[in-house]
A and B are shown apart, each in its own frame.
Chain A
Amino acid sequence: MEKLRIENVWKYYRGEKVEAVKNLNLVCQKGEILILLGPSGCGKTSTLRMIAGLESISKGNIYIGGRKVNDLSPQKRNIAMAFEDYALYPPLSVFENIAFPLRAKGLSIKEITKKLKKIAKALKIDDVLDKLPVELSGGQQQRISLARALVKEDIELLLMDEPISHLDSSLKNEIRTEIKRLHIELGNTIVYVTHDQLEAMALGDRIAVMNLGVLQQIGSPEGLYDQPANLFVAGFIGEPPMSFIDCLVLRQNGKFFLGNGTVKFPLPQNMVQSFQEQEKVIVGIRPGDFLLGESKDSNFVSISGKAYFIEPVGDVTVIYLQTEVGRLLVAALGTTAVHENETLTVSFSIDHIHIFDKKTDKAILCKR
């Protein structure tokens, strides 16, 4: 069942000078966490604020639970919000702040306490329930606002704007896991905004990647990672980031190859689209898809280069390789015996490459 539908939505600021959101179309199904992901200025927060009713819709329609909400105030949209600037009631204790929407519903104190304790424990604020908001850190206040949104019942949609951005990395990790688990148990429908691709991957059922007001791609975390639709998504998702190699389509004895300098390899067999000779493409390879050493396998391509920088980061070693086709980032598991300035050969399978049209930045599809 559809909980949210965004239809041909635009958002302008300053007359029509700034186009913050450009012709957005999105659907969010019941029980799913949909992530709006992108760098600052991509239009993700404007989109969320239009869904919430905190910003007007310049053009297009938004439906929540099948009802058009363009002209409804936020209170009438049947939603809960955990926003960064969403104020808590200063004179009320943390408990009462979270309980507020439940009290308004007329629930008994016993029922309220039971619901609230579980969520407060998961978000690790169960030890501050008697305090006042002013006594808490920014990260704690953020979690109170999150808890208040999560306890709210009988709502169509839960909207979250960077709800854990103020937490340090280890707590952020824990809370992220708890939000995902609570979502599995409660089955609520969530639209969640973040700029952090790792958070989006970890938490989302589906991710809508935005850039400069335009939706780039929408799909599951693995779908975006394995089949990015364009160069932007390919570069934005994944850390260390994907490496790119400029290539030219070549033809020899009736067969197509991709080449750059002395590096030449056949087109993957699973290519869907046919190519023109001399077409310019960009080949993308994820750091984890390289193997150290040369490979004799005909499906593999080997490239040599100089390891100009090595980053050992605990269980992974990132090797920066300067090759004749440009700089490549290689991620090797564990510690490696590779030294800086050493000449190194790496290999990758042509079945794991991503190919983009140099003119349009769009992915040329492979079957996977």
Chain B
Amino acid sequence: MAKLELREVVKKYGEVIALDRVSFQVQDGEFLTILGRPGAGKTTILKIIAGVEPITQGKLLLGGEDIASLSPEFRDVAMVFETYALYPHLSIYDNIVFPLRSPLRRRTLSESELKSRVGEITEMLQISDLLDRKPVELSGGQRQRVSLARALVRRPQLFLMDEPIAHLDAKLRHGLRPELRNLQRRLGVTTLFTTTDYMEALGIGERILVLNEGKVLQIGTQRELWATPASEEVGELLGMPPMNIIKGASPRVKAGEMFLADSGFKVKIGKKQRLRIEERSLTKVDVGIHPSEIRLLQSDDKYEVTCIGRIYVYEPLGTKGSLSVRVGEHTLKVQTEARFTKRTPEEQIKMYINERDIHIFDPTTRKNISTG
């Protein structure tokens, strides 16, 4: 019913192209996250769906109906922003029911209907004991829940959330994420949720749309994104630290096997990828490796050494560490265990990389050769 579809949508601000032929579908009841850097066009997508901004070109379908020319109040879409604008002089209850009392609503609800609806939503969000208070008496996390309640209480066809929990601390974010997602499931509302944080995007979304400079780079499940990033840009957005990209390595055939050789490292290439490289007659490729897929070797390890480097910097990150290693001209980031002790700059270190964990990109298009 509330399936959303964008077809070749273009949004221009003057000469600036904010959205460049964006096409995607969101299924009824689906939770889609939009991941991208600041300025990628995430908010613009939400704004054109809400009707706050007109589209320049393309089609915008909600439940099969073209809504591009409908004014915002008739789109049945609710939007939550990062900055929660609550009315300071109204109680929390009145803030939440505000949109239901709007004269623009086709059907007004009785006060008792309002009460039961607010009760249901605020119960779920655990703010039902705050209804008599004023916004100023609430913490940031509580206020954000109130603004969520205000959007949810309308029971819209579509829920648009623009980085709704980005500015809360980690404890609150982790508390709210499951709440938000479980609530959305129970209500069955189709939802778009933007974020700059890959952990949030992968963690909360059923599917993730990766947006960069107004273009859709990839849309898929977290597993698909992690296992097969469609382009180098996608890889660079995923992981802490993000995927390593080694530019301009040369594939070489030796004794019937293909290797990637570059200053300081040598990795075997699997059959499928070799085929793709040969099909395209690529003489240079870019190589992507997740920092968690690089194994640091101890002197007694039996793994074959795939590259040797020198320690550049060690950064402890709590549950894990990040070791930067200089290999030839490149700096590789390697994920380590939490209490990694080998951290003296310039010390030599040996590493192993499995051929299965290598992602190969075409250096011209920066696209993954396995998909693009």
A, B bound: yes
Chain A interface (Cβ < 8 Å from any Cβ of B): 39, 168-170, 173, 176-177, 180-181, 184, 197-198, 201-203, 221-222, 225, 235-241, 286-288, 308-309, 311-315, 318, 320, 329, 331, 335
Chain B residues in 8 Å Cβ range of A331: 319
Complex contact B170–A222 (CB within 8 A): no
Complex contact B223–A288 (CB within 8 A): no
Q: Is B38 an interface residue (CB 8 A)?
A: yes
In the bound complex, what is the Cα–Cα distance between A337 and B267 (angstroms)? Answer: 30
Q: Is B29 an interface residue (CB 8 A)?
A: no
- Which of A225, A235, A240, A312 has a CB less than 8 Å from the CB of B222? A312
Complex contact B315–A288 (CB within 8 A): no
Complex contact A181–B198 (CB within 8 A): no
Query: Which residues of B, 124-173, contact A by the 8 Å Cβ criterion?
Result: 169-171
14 additional A-B pairs beyond A169-B196, A202-B316, A313-B198, beta carbons within 8 Å, are A39-B169, A170-B236, A177-B331, A177-B333, A181-B313, A198-B240, A201-B316, A238-B318, A238-B319, A308-B182, A309-B181, A311-B199, A314-B226, A318-B203
In the bound complex, what is the Cα–Cα distance between A170 and B242 (angstroms)? Answer: 7
Q: Is B292 an interface residue (CB 8 A)?
A: yes
Complex contact A170–B316 (CB within 8 A): no
Chain B residues in 8 Å Cβ range of A320: 174, 178
- Which of A225, A311, A318 has a CB less than 8 Å from the CB of B318? A225
Complex contact A315–B239 (CB within 8 A): yes
Complex contact A288–B204 (CB within 8 A): no
- Which of A168, A236, A313 has a CB less than 8 Å from the CB of B169? A236
Provide 25 A-B residue pairs closer than 8 Å at the C-beta atoms, listed in order of the A residue. Answer: A169-B242, A170-B236, A170-B242, A173-B240, A173-B242, A177-B313, A177-B333, A180-B313, A181-B324, A198-B317, A201-B315, A203-B315, A222-B339, A236-B169, A239-B174, A240-B174, A309-B181, A309-B182, A311-B199, A312-B222, A313-B202, A313-B203, A313-B222, A315-B239, A320-B178
Among B178, B222, B333, max chain A CB count under 10 A is at B178
- Give min CB distance, A297 to chain B, whole Å: 21
Tell me whether A241 and B319 are in contact in the complex, defined as CB-CB below 8 angstroms, given that A177-B312, A312-B202, A312-B203 are known contacts: no
Tell me whether A202 and B315 are in contact in the complex, defined as CB-CB below 8 angstroms, given that A239-B170, A309-B177 are known contacts: yes
Report the tally of A-B residue pairs with Cβ distances under 8 A.
Answer: 113
Chain B residues in 8 Å Cβ range of A318: 174, 203
Chain B residues in 8 Å Cβ range of A201: 315-318
In the bound complex, what is the Cα–Cα distance between A331 and B320 (angstroms)? Answer: 12
Chain B residues in 8 Å Cβ range of A181: 312-313, 324, 345
Complex contact A287–B319 (CB within 8 A): yes
Contact pattern, B 311-330, Cβ under 8 Å of A = 1, otherwise 0: 01101111100101000000
Contact pattern, B 253-264, Cβ under 8 Å of A = 1, otherwise 0: 000000000000
In the bound complex, what is the Cα–Cα distance between A42 and B240 (angstroms)? Answer: 27
Complex contact B178–A308 (CB within 8 A): yes
Q: Is B335 an interface residue (CB 8 A)?
A: yes
Complex contact A221–B316 (CB within 8 A): yes
Q: Is B230 an interface residue (CB 8 A)?
A: no
Chain A residues in 8 Å Cβ range of B169: 39, 236
Give B221's nearest chain A residue, CB to CB: A312
Q: Is B105 an interface residue (CB 8 A)?
A: no
Give A225's nearest chain B residue, CB to CB: B318
Tell me whether A237 and B313 are in contact in the complex, defined as CB-CB below 8 angstroms, given that A170-B236, A335-B223 are known contacts: no
Q: Is B241 an interface residue (CB 8 A)?
A: yes
Query: Which residues of B, 271-313, contact A by the 8 Å Cβ criterion?
Result: 290, 292, 312-313
Complex contact A169–B37 (CB within 8 A): yes
Complex contact A315–B292 (CB within 8 A): yes
Q: Is B80 an interface residue (CB 8 A)?
A: no
Tell me whether A240 and B170 are in contact in the complex, defined as CB-CB below 8 angstroms, given that A177-B324, A315-B292 are known contacts: yes
Complex contact A311–B223 (CB within 8 A): no
Query: Which residues of B, 235-259, contact A by the 8 Å Cβ criterion?
Result: 236-242
Complex contact B290–A315 (CB within 8 A): yes
- Which of A176, A238, A309 has a CB less than 8 Å from the CB of B315? A176
Contact pattern, B 187-227, Cβ under 8 Å of A = 1, otherwise 0: 00000000011110011100000000000000000110010
Chain B residues in 8 Å Cβ range of A308: 178, 182
Q: Is B338 an interface residue (CB 8 A)?
A: yes
Chain A residues in 8 Å Cβ range of B331: 177
Chain B residues in 8 Å Cβ range of A168: 37-38, 196
Chain A residues in 8 Å Cβ range of B174: 239-241, 318, 320, 329
Complex contact B290–A314 (CB within 8 A): yes
Give A287's nearest chain B residue, CB to CB: B319
Chain B residues in 8 Å Cβ range of A170: 236-237, 242
Give A169's nearest chain B residue, CB to CB: B196
Complex contact A235–B171 (CB within 8 A): yes
In the bound complex, what is the Cα–Cα distance between A181 and B202 (angstroms)? Answer: 31
Among B37, B178, B236, B318, max chain A CB count under 10 A is at B318
Chain A residues in 8 Å Cβ range of B171: 235, 241
- Give min CB distance, B359 to chain A, whole Å: 13
Chain A residues in 8 Å Cβ range of B312: 177, 181
Give A327's nearest chain B residue, CB to CB: B175
- Give min CB distance, B181 to chain A, whole Å: 7
Chain A residues in 8 Å Cβ range of B37: 168-169
In the bound complex, what is the Cα–Cα distance between A237 and B333 (angstroms)? Answer: 22
Complex contact A314–B239 (CB within 8 A): yes
Tell me whether A239 and B196 are in contact in the complex, defined as CB-CB below 8 angstroms, given that A169-B37, A311-B203, A315-B290 are known contacts: no
Closest 8 CB pairs of A and B: A311-B203, A309-B178, A202-B315, A315-B292, A168-B37, A288-B319, A239-B170, A313-B199
Chain B residues in 8 Å Cβ range of A237: 318
Complex contact A184–B239 (CB within 8 A): no
Complex contact A177–B242 (CB within 8 A): no
In the bound complex, what is the Cα–Cα distance between A341 and B229 (angstroms)? Answer: 29
Chain A residues in 8 Å Cβ range of B202: 311-314
- Give min CB distance, A313 to chain B, whole Å: 5
Complex contact A222–B316 (CB within 8 A): yes
In the bound complex, what is the Cα–Cα distance between A176 and B170 (angstroms)? Answer: 21
- Give min CB distance, B170 to chain A, whole Å: 5
In the bound complex, what is the Cα–Cα distance between A2 and B371 (angstroms)? Answer: 57
- Which of B242, B338, B339, B345 has a CB less than 8 Å from the CB of A184? B345
Chain B residues in 8 Å Cβ range of A335: 223
- Give min CB distance, B338 to chain A, whole Å: 7
In the bound complex, what is the Cα–Cα distance between A241 and B171 (angstroms)? Answer: 6
Chain A residues in 8 Å Cβ range of B178: 308-309, 320
Chain B residues in 8 Å Cβ range of A312: 202-203, 222-223
